[in-house]
Structure 1
């Protein structure tokens, strides 16, 4: 597998070169659930999403089990409360793990989310083992690039070979750039509006590039 091209939904059709393979302990799982913390614009704060079914994408879960997904917004001024964590655990509905221990696990995950400047913490599956433990059997974390200055240890793990080379080059030039799969390049003030106009007229943007806000005479 090392050195080969791996194609997934996340990589796009071009795939990514496999540079590392992680070996993990084999677990005996008796139940799989879904757990995530993300940032929600509607509530202007963290949002915990939980489902008693797991092991597949949240999109598939939402399609198959929409009534089983619960969402618990967290007040950033108060932080996560025991009541918030209990709602999440009730949504997860663990079968063998201790309820109070599970509540503490949820609170610890929220603490990790905040202290690490995450924009996403997704555990899928959050699983119960045959020894009645609640474990993160698989996890995905995204971090706020703006927090790189205080999360030096986390960002030291960054592997540019796994990123879009266009975005790596743009970041070195201090440009706010995201590569897309369209055919029309954008370099505008107000990139979102420009991209909407392109789509309105039947085109597809090749990139997001917003030069507003940090443009200077020298640049």
Structure 2
């Protein structure tokens, strides 16, 4: 679960991490009033969307008066902000964070994450932060320093001091840096986080470390023991669809292609997606039908594909098992097609339990499907149909 910047700072501040003074606003007048109450000579107005590179996209404005704050907030609120990390349509800005502007003497990058190979917490840091840190690292203009922080509760302060030294911090700043890293590690454990990222981490003239921007990702599998964090979940437009589909016993992820995919089993679904890409096709989604799904659940999933104007063909790759026979999927498709008058090429590959009966059910529903004997034939047929516009109105 990804948190907004203001939510991340709200969690880090009581855990001893310095953040700029500020509040979140949903109207331009509210933004102006927040700025008026801040004891600052400069202000940052920041669009609250769950995506990086906001600054380069115009989503972060540095201004010098409450009136300019109101103008900046008015320009951002209600618009869709597209960054390098969003779809071309961008994300709707419904809130802005108004903060006292920070004037750093030095800007660092610092993050904590779980290393997949060792399952331990690792600190990743760079001497120069900023929203273009990835580009600068790839081009050799900057480098990351790593420090494994282990899996236990103990904290190696001497190793943390060594990381600070490798970042070029002055000797007088290293004790504060070690303390900050220890607090972040403790927050990481308390919050069941998979990522805490501070970029930039400002070093101010008095020698304080301030989290100018912050991002936290929480482990979804731990939310059952984090009810206060679960209450912070604010699904995006695409997340809302995916969560609704999960309640229908389907695993669904929206993509940006034109071939709707349906499979029963995550492995078969991923293999289908990979094969579509190998055949130069563009998947519009990943969909895994769980063994507990009913035909009505399946119909809901098919309806998503039929309602998506970008989808130009649908590929159904099903291997019936003991708990999920092929005819359940066939019934779901039949129900969806009766409810939706849109006609698309429906390419199916059926095998396993009740495959023949599923074909009979297709006929009963009047579903005109393209029945293929194997996966590769079905994949290439679906890709061809999408690329040629076959069956399009």
- C-alpha displacement at 1:217, in angstroms? 6.7
Moved over 6 A (4+): none
Change (3 A) 1:9 1:39: same
- Give the match's secondary structure for 1:89: helix
d(CA) in 1 for partners of 2:247, 2:154: 35
Change (3 A) 1:173 1:101: same
Does structure 1 residue 35 correspond to structure 2 residue 113?
no
Aligned to 1:193: 271
Aligned to 2:100: 25
Change (3 A) 1:196 1:70: same
Alignment of 1:75-154 (within 5 A): 75-77=150-152, 79-95=154-170, 98-154=173-229
| Unaligned segments of structure 2, at least 5 residues | 1-75, 298-393
| Unaligned segments of structure 1, at least 5 residues | none
Aligned to 1:52: 127
Larger radius of gyration: 2
Q: Which moved more, 1:162-171 or 1:52-61?
A: 162-171
Higher relative contact order (CA 8 A, sep 6+): 1
- C-alpha displacement at 1:99, in angstroms? 0.8
- C-alpha displacement at 1:203, in angstroms? 1.7
Return the match for 1:178 from 227, 238, 253. 253
Looking at secondary structure, tell me which structure has more helix per residue.
2
- Give the match's secondary structure for 1:93: coil
Change (3 A) 1:59 1:192: farther
Does structure 1 residue 215 correspond to structure 2 residue 291?
yes
d(CA) in 2 for partners of 1:130, 1:39: 32
- C-alpha displacement at 1:183, in angstroms? 2.0
- Give the match's secondary structure for 2:276: helix
- Give the match's secondary structure for 1:135: strand
RMSD of equivalent CA atoms: 2.4
Change (3 A) 1:217 1:208: closer
- C-alpha displacement at 1:145, in angstroms? 1.5
TM-score, normalised via structure 1 length: 0.86
- C-alpha displacement at 1:95, in angstroms? 4.2
